Amino acid sequence: MIYLDTSMLVSLHIRDVNTLAAIALIRDAGEPLLISSLVELEALNAFNLRLFRNEMSPLERDHAIQDLCDDIQAGVLTLEPIPDSAYTHAKALAQTLPQTIGFHPVHLLHVAAAIELGAGSFFTFDRKQHQTALAAGLAVNLLA
């Protein structure tokens, strides 16, 4: 199973510099795709921020939200709540991962959620998130 972080999910639903790479990664993945409730929330917020910044129209935002909902409804994406155990796991990662990464607490929570939900792979375009997932032992996508 592959955990998609917010950067990957947003690139799949809004055209940006990473969209073509995201589509290629997903097309070739051959595994179920997992998102957490945190990823869903962050993606919805990212869509709204783009609207706020006049980077997209209300109609484009609505289409992105609908596309995301359709992907969940159709089973293209599996949406799971973050288990309580992910918070404990994230705290353990904060104490054991190398401090040279400079990770944020949300990076730790995404990685812990992926592990606790049974994902073996982690797809992201965020460099810090990529380093955090790799340091925690997850297989990660290559970054361009």
Low-confidence ranges of the chain (pLDDT < 50): none
Q: 0.85 exceeded by the pTM?
A: yes
Structural tokens at position 11: 């690139």
End-to-end CA distance of the chain: 22
- Please tell me the predicted confidence (pLDDT) of residue 16: 93
CATH number 3.20.20.70 given to 2-140: no
Which positions ≥6 away from 36 have C-beta within 8 Å?
Answer: 3, 79, 80, 81, 82, 110, 113, 114, 117
- Please tell me the predicted confidence (pLDDT) of residue 144: 57
- Please tell me the predicted confidence (pLDDT) of residue 143: 76
For the chain, the domains span: 2-140
